[in-house]
Structure 1
């Protein structure tokens, strides 16, 4: 906002007989002439400064945004407003804002989009493609900040503008349809979400090219949508379809870093799905492919590489290859530490997972150290009542139970259970697994009746969610049966 000086209270005094001619020669007139010259100089200064900040913003990696980058964007925007016409300003901002958008720097971007909306609504006008672009970006920010209703109004307005523009269909229309799909999914309006994803894909397929990967984004989003509905076959189909498209595009431009990056990301996403559905051999292969592509695009030390290392390490942990898991988790942590990603939920997750490896290897002190560090980060970033905090509390409780330190384990399990019940509801599967763990603790303490009650509650929750054939149900049922046998043996004595 422009800063104006307050009026000093002094008044200019003119001779009341001053002629019109004399006024024309007054200092005011001379000042206007000087201002005209100054405008030209100032414009050139803005252009020079814009070029300087543009260099600072060139080729930014969304995973490595720094506070200095944020300052550079703010300064560049100030000078861009004075250099470009509104249409050019939007084109410039589209490119410069993208890495910040992908790095979820919502608080940084919000004031820019709000100011830009006011500019483009005045010129080129409220029904222009530029206004639709700004509305779409602003709506995305509101969506990720949880202001769903406000986001919906902005997205629908952007869609209406884009659908009324000439030369339909247009790729931008597909982009807004896809964004609305995400929003409706978050609002749990599933039929509308799927409808918008389908419409988006129909439009975006027509424009699929190495420079326009909107269809790939929508296929990944639709896959996550189906995954959330536990329709894993549909989700897998979407990921594989996206990979087919990407492979064809890569034939056109083998070294296109954008295509390679999207392919690596999709392979990683498919790997997670395959791992969760028990297809571990193929999941391992997909992670390996993703890792090679990421190292080619980003180098061997990059946060994207760290993420895939983390996923592959989890697979090694699940298949009891603990040494391999430890190596990959450690490497992942080193990469994140190098790039200052230690105050990050992903870093805390890796600490948590590596601690689990140390538990399996009997290195309990090291495991406790890592769990403690993970807990501190999660509480700081997510707050003390977040489900991820409960996960670490649960793990620490289990470690103390293994060590026979029951008094330390009990409050951790109890707090984890309370968090899950409050945030996820009393019948959520995580409540069931925590009840099972808490029951095991009371069993270890010789409090059998309490343990039986907790096991039965856990069984009821897990059976309703997963059914009687699920491994979690079988584990809890066996725990309960084992306790009954233990009690029967003690009675026989």
Structure 2
């Protein structure tokens, strides 16, 4: 027993000594230290993985976003949350989300923005600049998703936060005002839209520099606003103001690629406007300037180059320079094919336009082949009931009418008309032009009474929208008059 007690005592002493040493180190503190090391290792792993995905996100072109890029953004975000403070996280994400924002990758961005909003509201507060930044981005996504009421709610909340921050005015406030201008335009609240654009421009001009082009964006947006109001002179004035600002900025930094890119985009936009105004020589000059800048900034094989080539080709088509149009449309298609952008609405548009050139050159089989490809792409990408699908159906119908294949033309026109009436409304101008074409088909089939009724319906729609002096009205009226004259001649016989 004694021996046992002694042994027990030794064990107790041993335990006490161990206990004293443990107390010296503190077992709980040891656990904390171990956890700290684990956290350090984990953070290092997050940083390593973040940098790997971040590398993939450098210098992304919105026109060339791939599914792999979308995965990289989502993965980078997962790791960024672990290594950045909320303020840094917002700054990083706002920059990295921009190309995805412009490439309409809404399904990718929406859940990330929603998660980010929860993070910043909790950590920086619901009235912080970071919260306003996330709200602004989230609102933009809802706007492009055509959920305008939700977008308005978020934009107004972002604006309120930004206007209440010290050191006003701030460029961020101007940016939100400009975004609201777009939203109100889409909501057909035009007076409010113009008011917001004006307020935005006043602020953004104060902060204009090669790294802050908010004023240029707002001037372009205002130009499109006036274009929508059919005030092309006002739109042209806005584009000119934007170009003057960009020219001054390029004088400061001649090789700034962002400035050159914006200048090329504005020149292209202005070319479209001038072309619609009938100022074709000026439009051609603007397109030429845009192409030169785009090739310098992006290289000769880029979607922006393809788009401007497409616009210039359309101008050549309108001026019956079919060979030049053919070359440029073909070049545009080749660029998009090399970039793998064949499942794209822009590619379908170019196919559709090139088909029109082949119709003019009498190469109807080639035209039909291109219309068919364009239709298949548009149906896959946009769905079977989109107005762009109707455009190609209309064109195919017209080609079959020219070929005298009336039975093939009739269902195409009928389907196009149904799409337009359903999506755009029964009094939309595209309904009127399709009715004109359908009337022409019935005339070709010898169904004169049906043709007259349809021509008259088309005239009524086109006159209400465009007025009696518009070329579309005059074309339809002349078609109707021509039919009456044809019927009168047949009666005399």
TM bracket (short chain): over 0.9
CA deviations on 1:121-168 (whole Å, 9 max, x unpaired) are 112211111111111001111111111111111111111111111111
Aligned residue number for residue 44 of structure 2: 44
Distance in structure 2 (CA, Å) of the matches to 1:262 and 1:154: 28
Distance in structure 2 (CA, Å) of the matches to 1:323 and 1:485: 36
**What's the offset of the Cα at 1:116?**
0.9
Distance in structure 2 (CA, Å) of the matches to 1:26 and 1:373: 75
CA deviations on 1:236-286 (whole Å, 9 max, x unpaired) are 111111011111111111111011000000000011011111111100110
**What's the offset of the Cα at 1:314?**
0.4
Distance in structure 2 (CA, Å) of the matches to 1:486 and 1:239: 48
Please tell me whether residue 372 in structure 1 is matched to residue 372 in structure 2: yes
Describe how 1:262-273 pairs up with structure 2 within 5 A. Answer: 262-273=262-273
**What's the offset of the Cα at 1:33?**
3.7
Distance in structure 1 (CA, Å) of the matches to 2:238 and 2:439: 41
Distance in structure 2 (CA, Å) of the matches to 1:458 and 1:288: 38
Aligned residue number for residue 260 of structure 2: 260
Distance in structure 1 (CA, Å) of the matches to 2:184 and 2:328: 37
**What's the offset of the Cα at 1:369?**
0.8
**What's the offset of the Cα at 1:480?**
1.3
Distance in structure 1 (CA, Å) of the matches to 2:151 and 2:168: 24
Describe how 1:36-185 pairs up with structure 2 within 5 A. Answer: 36-185=36-185
**What's the offset of the Cα at 1:423?**
1.4
**What's the offset of the Cα at 1:385?**
1.4
Q: Secondary structure at the match of 1:206?
A: helix
Aligned residue number for residue 419 of structure 2: 419
Q: Please, which moves more after superposition, 178-187 or 453-462? A: 453-462
Aligned residue number for residue 399 of structure 1: 399
Please tell me whether residue 340 in structure 1 is matched to residue 340 in structure 2: yes
Aligned residue number for residue 228 of structure 2: 228
Please tell me whether residue 324 in structure 1 is matched to residue 324 in structure 2: yes
Q: Please, which moves more after superposition, 439-448 or 422-431? A: 422-431
Aligned residue number for residue 212 of structure 1: 212
Q: Secondary structure at the match of 1:301?
A: coil
Distance in structure 2 (CA, Å) of the matches to 1:411 and 1:148: 36
**What's the offset of the Cα at 1:28?**
7.9
Q: Secondary structure at the match of 1:169?
A: coil
Distance in structure 2 (CA, Å) of the matches to 1:109 and 1:372: 34
**What's the offset of the Cα at 1:427?**
1.5
**What's the offset of the Cα at 1:34?**
2.2
**What's the offset of the Cα at 1:120?**
0.9
Aligned residue number for residue 5 of structure 1: none
Describe how 1:296-315 pairs up with structure 2 within 5 A. Answer: 296-315=296-315
Describe how 1:30-41 pairs up with structure 2 within 5 A. Answer: 31-41=31-41
Q: Secondary structure at the match of 2:244?
A: helix
Q: Secondary structure at the match of 2:167?
A: coil
**What's the offset of the Cα at 1:293?**
0.4
Distance in structure 1 (CA, Å) of the matches to 2:101 and 2:429: 34
Distance in structure 2 (CA, Å) of the matches to 1:76 and 1:477: 61
Distance in structure 1 (CA, Å) of the matches to 2:327 and 2:479: 33
**What's the offset of the Cα at 1:215?**
0.2
Aligned residue number for residue 12 of structure 2: none
**What's the offset of the Cα at 1:32?**
4.3
**What's the offset of the Cα at 1:185?**
0.8
Structure with the higher fraction of residues in helix conformation: 2
Aligned residue number for residue 487 of structure 1: 487
CA deviations on 1:222-241 (whole Å, 9 max, x unpaired) are 11111111111111111111
Distance in structure 1 (CA, Å) of the matches to 2:120 and 2:99: 22
**What's the offset of the Cα at 1:90?**
1.2
Report the count of equivalent residues: 475
Q: Secondary structure at the match of 2:342?
A: coil
| Unmatched segments (≥5 aa) in structure 2 | 1-14
Aligned residue number for residue 190 of structure 2: 190
Aligned residue number for residue 8 of structure 2: none
Distance in structure 1 (CA, Å) of the matches to 2:423 and 2:36: 62
Distance in structure 2 (CA, Å) of the matches to 1:188 and 1:458: 26
Q: Secondary structure at the match of 1:352?
A: helix
Distance in structure 1 (CA, Å) of the matches to 2:100 and 2:426: 38
Aligned residue number for residue 429 of structure 1: 429
CA deviations on 1:375-425 (whole Å, 9 max, x unpaired) are 111111211111111111100000000000000000111111111111112
**What's the offset of the Cα at 1:26?**
11
Distance in structure 1 (CA, Å) of the matches to 2:269 and 2:422: 30
Following TM superposition, the consecutive aligned residue runs of length 4 or more in structure 1 with deviations greater than 3 angstroms are: 21-33
Aligned residue number for residue 3 of structure 2: none
Distance in structure 1 (CA, Å) of the matches to 2:328 and 2:180: 37
Distance in structure 1 (CA, Å) of the matches to 2:316 and 2:482: 30
Distance in structure 2 (CA, Å) of the matches to 1:235 and 1:29: 69
Distance in structure 2 (CA, Å) of the matches to 1:374 and 1:26: 74
Distance in structure 1 (CA, Å) of the matches to 2:112 and 2:286: 39
Q: Secondary structure at the match of 2:278?
A: coil
| Unmatched segments (≥5 aa) in structure 1 | 1-17
Distance in structure 1 (CA, Å) of the matches to 2:114 and 2:462: 47
Aligned residue number for residue 361 of structure 1: 361
Computing the radius of gyration over CA atoms, which structure comes out larger, 1 or 2? Answer: 2
